[in-house]
Structure 1
């Protein structure tokens, strides 16, 4: 694995045996593990109103994780920009960069990360994440880029130009990435000369096409001379392939429920998931979906998992893979830890 850099994506999962405080504590322990093992970066997602995900506020989580670690880059994977005013995002991450210079990444996405009702509430009832907000995404990206510059921008109101800065005296800016799972984001990142990440862990299809669009259409920018990209992948690693499959089951069941519109709840423990499977929680019609999702994950013992990551990196010509460790927990696990997720990182790091 010496030629392949590894990073971590974290949604701050909430299990049936956890309160939110426990899941945050488990994330901090996982981040410290990644830091100690030499992982390159640790990104935190944005999702809202989901019973199994506590990653509702990336800037808050980035600050917590950056303060709990020493070396690793910490960032958002990503901030869903249509949910927020660009100035607010620029202010948050300018301040994080000031507190942790050279260690902050700002990943930006276009999806709402939630249901329409919650999107409406996020925007104070002002229409939710409307088609207009999504259509103005390129403009919002430009605004964040400009506002993040130490010199700031000029905002013209009432015929007068006012200076606007995200923070009074910036000395550096975070690295700003564009995230996506579609051709749209690949083209936009190429056009703006920004680094780009395809959400392979979520989509699993169209990865090669999106990366080719990005690379072939890339226009150099003052910040980036050539394309820069990596991909994400769901991973579960254990000492045996059999145990890895058991640890993967709860997250697989949750993803099937999400994709089929079934009721969602906290992430099941391994034994709860096995019981649910025996009792027929997954209809036969959905088994093919579960198998298809599983086929895109890296699940297995250390040797096979590392080989799987190397194959992914070679297939898509990247030198970095961001691992989303989706290993569940057994009954009786300390609620404030996620030992199987930590073990996934340890075993992959060798």
Structure 2
């Protein structure tokens, strides 16, 4: 029963990884005749499921077909060139009780003052809601984020139109596998004071989202930077500008870390206020962030410098013909213990 046991032991991690390209893995399994043609057609056209549901149904089908099928499936994951190229994270899964597959190549760190990470970037892009207005322009933001983080060497996965339960399930899956030297989560949605909304209108607490990835002795992300970008309103008030009258300028190691260390959380706006988004060009926050990453990363700027420039750029924008009438101020908070540097690959 070694094949069944290996699939069950790695089931959550495999599901999270294969969600990146369900069509590819389904076709590969069909080519190897691990499922019948009827089973292939049924799995290809499940009604009422998102990509997570498709992958779960596929793995359950393979488990039900017995140990030989599971062994063949695991062999396919480890030997097929297309699969290895598309899902490099599979190499870090323990497929047997005695051996650990070779870990994926990761970017090296520098002398300790910072790191040059590569890893996974997850984009949850909620556009069409049941009870809220459609978030026109959000696809532009998702495309910009996918472009810039792919350019920075991240593997990018995009989950569209997620309910609160689907968002929670997705993030729980992504918290499990090895992703490289860093993890980025971008959530583009409607929001309220301390939560983002699923397309079903149910709130998902920002605190709960972040704590899904807190450091544990089992987590592969412990000690690694975890960046969260939230493009969402945090209230209904519109922020106004204030004329500046005065301007001042100011020219040993523990063996453990706090469980909430190494987080970088960037909110599109401060608490209680709306966040502006153009229906065609995307949001001020995401578009400015992507532009500042494109300009600052090749220069070797650290993330805090880049985010400070983004803050300044967004703060200067006007959403009204009357100066100072409708403004926006992003908010950055962090528990990073080292400098964070992202470099184009």
TM-score, normalising length from structure 2? 0.28
- As a proportion of its length, which structure holds more helix? 1
